Amino acid sequence: ALFALVVFAVIVTACATAPTTVPPPPPTTAITQPSRPIEFVISTAPGGGSDIYARKMQGIIEKLKLSPQPYLPVNKDGGSGAVAFQYVFEKKGDMHFVMITLNSFFTTIILQSSTLQFKVTDFSPIANLAFDPFFLWVQGDSPWKTAQDFIAAAKADSLTVAGTGSKQEDEVLFTLVQTKAGTKPFKFVPQSGGGAVAAALAGGQVQATVNNPSEAISFYQANPPKAKPLCTFSSVSPAAGPYKGLATCKSQGLDVGIEYFITRSVVAAPGLTPAQIAFHVDVFKKVFDSQDWKDFADLSVLDLKFLSGTEFGKFLEEYNQLHINVMKQAGWIQ
């Protein structure tokens, strides 16, 4: 298991005939309890993936009574996440502020390094709960049926596409598609969050998106469908749920060269003590282990992966470096 469990051991030794020396108990990690409600900060607008997942986690925490104090979702969108990141960063040492992350946690901090005086590793790492795949989406009545249909159209004309923010994860992926498949440059229209991205596609304002499965499902399940996925950028097809059997983009000849996904992780304000971090890790491990989360993961085609402690910290460093490399290749940073 990829997490640290806080174990309290009480050793009781009794002997009816003679006294026995009892060895001292092993050292334990204490847990510091919150003293007031915890702000669960969301860096995007309502309706996007981060908003959906944070509110799902909060609902499980409340339903299963996992915390003595409530986690209260708060949307602080703006600046491609910078507003939320700065807000939580300024709460140094206060365990009552946690934040759900998506890949703008990496890209925005890299792009705005001259104004944002912190790095992803400055935040207190809590846990990763899942990896969220990208799908290639087109309008529900689009004549394109496969990734190759889309690529052929994108080679013939500059298609209009939408994504969350500018030079964030969605545009990263479209840039990889352009580079690897040799398409014409996409006309990228930034939106405030994944919900707005899906709505722009369903409303006919753009021709394609790379929404996560949960963000566009209502448009996919509409009658008639307002949006449809052509393929998944994941390495495997969904085995269950509403997208069961969806082809991988790679199997249809669209290979972007890396395994790219959205992290559904939680970090906290910088400078928390091990005991404060342990409280949050314990809460979110119980969320991860719940049947509610497993059922939600099946519906949303999530790749469940729990990381905490040094392993999660190492992942943050490595995924941050991946984004630096991709953004350098795109010419967005030096």
pLDDT(115) > 80: yes
Q: Are 230 and 268 part of one and the same domain?
A: no
Q: Are 181 and 192 part of one and the same domain?
A: yes
Q: Are 140 and 247 part of one and the same domain?
A: yes
In angstroms, rounded to a whole number, what is the distance separating the alpha carbons of residues 307 and 3?
6
Inside any domain, residue 193? yes
Percent with pLDDT over 90 in the chain: 81
Which of 252, 287, 317 is the endpoint of a domain? 252
Residue 193: what pLDDT?
Answer: 86
CA-wise closest residue to 103 among 297, 307, 265: 265
- E strands along 57-186, which residues? 71-75, 97-101, 124-132, 135-139, 160-164
Opening angle at CA 265, ends 264 and 267, nearest 5: 155
pLDDT(25) > 80: no
Top-confidence residue, 324 or 241: 324
Q: Are 307 and 265 part of one and the same domain?
A: yes
Inside any domain, residue 293? yes
pLDDT(17) > 90: no
Over residues 161-168, mean pLDDT: 92
Looking at the structure of the chain, the number of domains it has is 2
In angstroms, rounded to a whole number, what is the distance separating the alpha carbons of residues 110 and 133?
22
φ/ψ of 39, rounded to 5, equals -75, 125
Which of 235, 252, 269 is the endpoint of a domain? 252
To the nearest whole number, what is the mean pLDDT of the chain?
90
Residue 231: what pLDDT?
Answer: 97
pLDDT(1) > 50: no
User: Comparing 6-20, 80-94, 107-121, 156-170, which segment has the lowest mean pLDDT?
Assistant: 6-20
Inside any domain, residue 7? no
Domain that residue 237 falls in: 135-252
Residue 29: what pLDDT?
Answer: 59
pLDDT(26) > 60: no
User: Comparing 4-13, 53-62, 107-116, 207-216, which segment has the lowest mean pLDDT?
Assistant: 4-13
Inside any domain, residue 226? yes
Inside any domain, residue 21? no
Residue 224: asked if its preceding bond is cis (omega within 30°), the reply is: yes
Over residues 241-267, mean pLDDT: 94
Q: Are 300 and 244 part of one and the same domain?
A: no
pLDDT digits (tens, 9 = 90+) for 197-253: 999 999 999 999 999 999 999 999 999 999 999 999 999 999 888 999 999 999 999
CA-wise closest residue to 53 among 317, 323, 304: 304
Q: Helices (DSSP H) in 39-90: which residue ranges?
A: 49-63, 82-89
Residue 264: what pLDDT?
Answer: 96
Inside any domain, residue 109? yes
Q: Are 99 and 163 part of one and the same domain?
A: no
Which of 200, 222, 252 is the endpoint of a domain? 252
In this prediction the pTM is: 0.82
**Which CATH number belongs to the domain containing residue 183 in this structure?**
3.40.190.10
**Which CATH number belongs to the domain containing residue 91 in this structure?**
3.40.190.150
Inside any domain, residue 5? no
Residue 151: what pLDDT?
Answer: 98
Residue 259: what pLDDT?
Answer: 83
pLDDT digits (tens, 9 = 90+) for 84-96: 999 999 999 999 9
Task: Describe the chain by its helix, strand, coil percentages, rounded to 5.
Answer: 40, 20, 45
Strands 187-191 and 227-232: unpaired
In angstroms, rounded to a whole number, what is the distance separating the alpha carbons of residues 48 and 122?
25
Q: Are 143 and 116 part of one and the same domain?
A: no
Over residues 160-176, mean pLDDT: 93
Q: Give the three-state DSSP class for 263.
A: strand
Q: Are 215 and 295 part of one and the same domain?
A: no
Q: Which DSSP state fits 24?
A: P
Query: Which two structure tokens, joined as six digits, stand for 65?
Result: 């009574």
